[in-house]
């Protein structure tokens, strides 16, 4: 038995008995206005939403600190048990305001374990991870102390007291021709897992917190 041929649907709204149809229309005016309003709404939302999204996510794909290495002295200047204080440029060409203090010592497996063991020297930032005040290392106590709100860090820069939310940031290091070089800054979560982009003080970066505190252009 031959199957009945399916009847082709008319393109005209009047033929399809669409409510509000007019002779010769393929789209009702109501449908046209609804689609137009949705399109205009979409464009308006994109005009506001896309720049905001770009502002929030853009810094994840850019680096504001130069990825160059700076010479901080010969290897004889450093040992595994005490930190040597050095000054480096965090932001180039802005005079003293672009400089920062960095605490440098030789990596030692007995002290550091596997934490960032691929770097030959430990270079710790002096910026407190509460609100960014400069911390100071007290050798006798083997603690980094923040004068602002009582933040205290252990000898590896781990938080041992006060309001800081994560370990002190560090810098990449390498040795070339008997000289110690310090590179870009990076942040660490509480397990000393390295983040490629440095985060601001007060930003939690453990677990889901890292998504609630996206990176932004910062020094
Ligand atoms: S800025 Fe260091 S404890 Fe507040």
Q: DSSP letter string over 31-98?
A: HHHHHHHHHHHHHHHHHHHHHHHHHHHGGGG---S----EEEEEGGG--SSSPEEEEEESSTTSGGGG
Q: So what's the pLDDT on residue 211?
A: 75
Q: So what's the pLDDT on residue 161?
A: 95
Average pLDDT of the chain to the nearest whole number: 85
Establish whether residue 131 lines the binding site of ligand 1, counting it when its CB lies within 6 angstroms of any ligand atom. yes
C-beta contacts of 85-90 below 8 A and 24+ residues apart: 85/137, 86/182, 88/171, 88/182, 90/65, 90/185, 90/219
Residue 66's pLDDT band, with cuts at 50, 70 and 90, is: low
Kindly give the number of the ligand 1 atom that is closest to the alpha carbon of 163: 3
Q: So what's the pLDDT on residue 18?
A: 74
Establish whether residue 145 lines the binding site of ligand 1, counting it when its CB lies within 6 angstroms of any ligand atom. no
Residue 188's pLDDT band, with cuts at 50, 70 and 90, is: very high
Establish whether residue 152 lines the binding site of ligand 1, counting it when its CB lies within 6 angstroms of any ligand atom. no
pLDDT in tens, 120-155: 999 999 999 999 999 999 999 999 999 999 999 999
pLDDT in tens, 151-187: 999 999 999 999 999 999 999 999 999 999 999 999 9
Pick from 135, 148, 167 the residue to mutate for probing ligand 1's pocket: most ligand atoms within 8 Å of its CB: 148
Kindly give the number of the ligand 1 atom that is closest to the alpha carbon of 133: 1
CA of 94 to the centre of ligand 1 (A): 25
In this structure, the residue with its CA closest to atom 4 of ligand 1 is 149
pLDDT in tens, 11-44: 777 777 777 777 777 777 777 888 889 999 999 9
Greater confidence, 60 or 107?
107
Q: So what's the pLDDT on residue 219?
A: 47
Establish whether residue 188 lines the binding site of ligand 1, counting it when its CB lies within 6 angstroms of any ligand atom. no
Kindly give the number of the ligand 1 atom that is closest to the alpha carbon of 164: 3
Greater confidence, 191 or 10?
191
Establish whether residue 130 lines the binding site of ligand 1, counting it when its CB lies within 6 angstroms of any ligand atom. yes
Q: Tell me the whole-structure pTM to 2 decimals.
A: 0.70
Greater confidence, 82 or 30?
82
């Amino acid at each position: 038995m031959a199957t009945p041929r399916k009847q082709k649907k008319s393109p005209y709204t009047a033929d399809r008995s669409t409510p509000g149809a007019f002779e010769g229309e393929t789209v009702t005016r109501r449908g046209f206005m609804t689609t137009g309003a949705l399109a205009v709404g979409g464009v308006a939302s994109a005009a506001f939403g896309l720049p905001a999204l770009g502002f929030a996510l853009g810094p994840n794909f850019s680096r504001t600190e130069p990825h160059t290495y700076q010479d901080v002295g010969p290897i004889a200047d450093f040992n595994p048990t005490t930190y040597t204080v050095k000054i480096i440029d965090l932001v180039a060409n802005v005079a003293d305001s672009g400089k920062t203090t960095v605490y440098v010592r030789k990596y030692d497996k007995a002290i550091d374990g596997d934490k960032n063991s691929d770097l030959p020297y430990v270079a710790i930032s002096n910026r407190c991870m509460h609100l960014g005040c400069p911390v100071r290392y007290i050798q006798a106590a083997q603690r980094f102390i923040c004068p602002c709100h009582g933040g205290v860090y252990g000898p590896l820069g781990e938080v041992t007291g006060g309001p800081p939310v994560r370990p002190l940031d560090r810098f990449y290091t390498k040795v070339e021709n008997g000289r110690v070089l310090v590179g870009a800054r990076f942040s660490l979560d509480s397990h000393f897992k390295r983040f490629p982009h440095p985060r601001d003080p007060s930003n939690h970066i453990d677990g889901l917190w890292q998504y609630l505190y996206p990176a932004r252009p910062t020094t």
